[in-house]
Structure 1
Amino acid sequence: MNAPLLKPALKMPPRESTSQQVYELLRTAIVNATLAPGRAISEIEMANQLEVSRTPVRESFRRLAAEGFLKVVPQVGTVVSKMSRRELMDALFIRESIECAAARLAVKAPLEEREALHRLMLRQRAAVDRGDIEEGLNKDEDLHRGLIDLSGHPRAWEPVRQARAHMERVRRMAIPELQSNIKAAEQHERIAAALVAADTEVLVRELQAHIRLIEGFIEGISARYPDYFED
Structure 2
Amino acid sequence: MKPIQRAVPLVNQVYEHLRGAILSGTLKPGEKIVETKLAGELQVSRSPVREAIRLLANEQLLKEQNGNISVFVPTIHDFQEISALRLAVEPAAAAMAARRFEAPDVQALQTSLEANIEETKHCLAVGDMEGIIPLNNEFHRVIWTCGGNGRFVRIMENVSALIQYYCSLVLDINQQQTNILQEHTDIYLALKAGDPVEAQNAMYRHINKDQQVIERYAASSDGFNVEFPPAGVALYKEGELS
Scaled by the length of structure 1, the TM-score of the pair is: 0.78
Do the aligned partners of residues 190 and 65 (structure 1) sit closer, same or farther apart at CA in structure 2, a change above 3 Å counting? same
1:188 is displaced (CA, Å) by 0.9
Deviations for 1:147-176, whole angstroms, at most 9, x for unmatched residues?
A: 122222345323212223213222224434
Deviations for 1:5-45, whole angstroms, at most 9, x for unmatched residues?
A: xx49x799x44x21122123212322232211111221133
1:49 is displaced (CA, Å) by 3.0
Do the aligned partners of residues 66 and 163 (structure 1) sit closer, same or farther apart at CA in structure 2, a change above 3 Å counting? closer
Percent of pairs with identical residues? 26
Q: Is the 8 A contact 2:75 2:224 kept in 1?
A: no
Alignment of 1:74-153 (within 5 A): 74=66, 77-108=68-99, 109-110=101-102, 113=107, 116=111, 117-153=113-149
Do the aligned partners of residues 218 and 131 (structure 1) sit closer, same or farther apart at CA in structure 2, a change above 3 Å counting? farther
Q: Is the 8 A contact 2:28 2:228 kept in 1?
A: no
The one-letter amino acid of 2:137's match is E
- Tell me whether 1:185 sits opposite 2:176 in the alignment: no
Q: Is the 8 A contact 1:95 1:163 kept in 2?
A: no
Do the aligned partners of residues 181 and 192 (structure 1) sit closer, same or farther apart at CA in structure 2, a change above 3 Å counting? farther
- Tell me whether 1:45 sits opposite 2:37 in the alignment: yes
What's 1:55 paired with? 47
- Tell me whether 1:25 sits opposite 2:21 in the alignment: no
Q: Secondary structure at the match of 2:144?
A: helix
* Count of aligned positions: 219
Distance 2:227 2:128 in 1: 28
1:195 is displaced (CA, Å) by 1.5
Scaled by the length of structure 2, the TM-score of the pair is: 0.75
Q: Is the 8 A contact 1:95 1:211 kept in 2?
A: yes
The one-letter amino acid of 2:49's match is V
Distance 2:153 2:118 in 1: 22
Distance 1:48 1:121 in 2: 42
Distance 1:185 1:35 in 2: 30
- Tell me whether 1:225 sits opposite 2:226 in the alignment: yes
1:210 to 206, 211, 226: 206
Q: Which runs of 5+ in 1 are unaligned?
A: none
Q: Is the 8 A contact 2:15 2:52 kept in 1?
A: yes
Q: Is the 8 A contact 2:133 2:167 kept in 1?
A: no
Aligned-residue CA RMSD in angstroms? Answer: 3.1
Q: Secondary structure at the match of 1:72?
A: strand
Do the aligned partners of residues 217 and 79 (structure 1) sit closer, same or farther apart at CA in structure 2, a change above 3 Å counting? same
Do the aligned partners of residues 50 and 84 (structure 1) sit closer, same or farther apart at CA in structure 2, a change above 3 Å counting? same
Q: Which runs of 4+ in 1 moved over 6 A?
A: none
Q: Secondary structure at the match of 1:35?
A: coil
By percentage of residues, which structure has more helix?
1
The one-letter amino acid of 2:178's match is I
Distance 1:136 1:64 in 2: 23
The one-letter amino acid of 1:64's match is L
